[in-house]
Amino acid sequence: MKKGGILNPALAKLLAETGHTDYLVVTDAGLPLPENVNTRIDFALKPNVPRFLELLDTVLEELVVEEIILAEEIKAVSPEMHAEILKRFPKISIKYMSHVQFKETTKQARGFIRSGEFTPFANIILVAGCAY
C-alpha cells in the first residue's frame, strides 16, 4: 500500500505520463468533456464535493506547471475563485480566452480531472512544465 501522495491510480498514472507542454484540465462539475479525450477522471460525488481548489492543490503537489489558461469570464462571474487560483500561480504565465475558446482548446488536453465544484468557470488548463 502507498503510504502517501496521490492514492487514486488513474490520477497517479495521468500525472506520471504527462510531459512538457501537455495540457491537463481540472474542471468544475459542469464543463463538457470532449469525447476524443482518453483520460477522464471524475471525482464528482455531489455538489461541491470535492472542491475544485482541493483537487487543484493535490495535482499541483506533483505537477510542474509553466503556464495556465483560464476563461476570461471567471474574472467577472467568480472573482473570489479567480483570486484563489491566482494565489497558487504567483510567477506563472496566465493566458485568458473566452469560455467558448477555452472549451475548444480543451480538445487538445491529455486528460481531464473533474471536481464536484458548482462555482461558475472554475476550470483551468495546466500547461505542464519541465522539472529540469
List pLDDT tens digits, range 47-98: 999 999 999 999 999 999 999 999 999 999 999 999 999 999 999 999 999 9
**Residue 82 marked in a binding site:** no
Write the CB contacts of 122 (distance below 8 Å, at least 6 apart in sequence).
27, 28, 52, 74, 78, 81, 115
Mark whether 20 is an active-site residue: yes
Instruction: Tell me the DSSP string of 25-91.
Output: EEE-SSPPPPTT-SEEEE---BTTBS-HHHHHHHHHTT--EEEEEEETTHHHH-HHHHHHHHHT-TT
| pLDDT score at 53 | 98
| pLDDT score at 38 | 80
Q: 39: domain range?
A: 10-128
On whether residue 52 sits in a domain, the answer given is: yes
Tally of domains in the chain: 1
Quickly tell me which residue has 503556464 as its cell.
Answer: 67
- Give the model's confidence band at 27: pLDDT under 50 very low, under 70 low, under 90 confident, else very high: very high
On whether residue 65 sits in a domain, the answer given is: yes
**Residue 57 marked in a binding site:** no
On whether residue 4 sits in a domain, the answer given is: no
CATH number, residue 46:
3.40.1650.10
pTM for this model (two decimals): 0.96
Query: Catalytic pick from 5, 8, 17, 20?
Result: 20
On whether residue 2 sits in a domain, the answer given is: no
Mean pLDDT of 15-40: 94
On whether residue 5 sits in a domain, the answer given is: no
On whether residue 111 sits in a domain, the answer given is: yes
On whether residue 3 sits in a domain, the answer given is: no
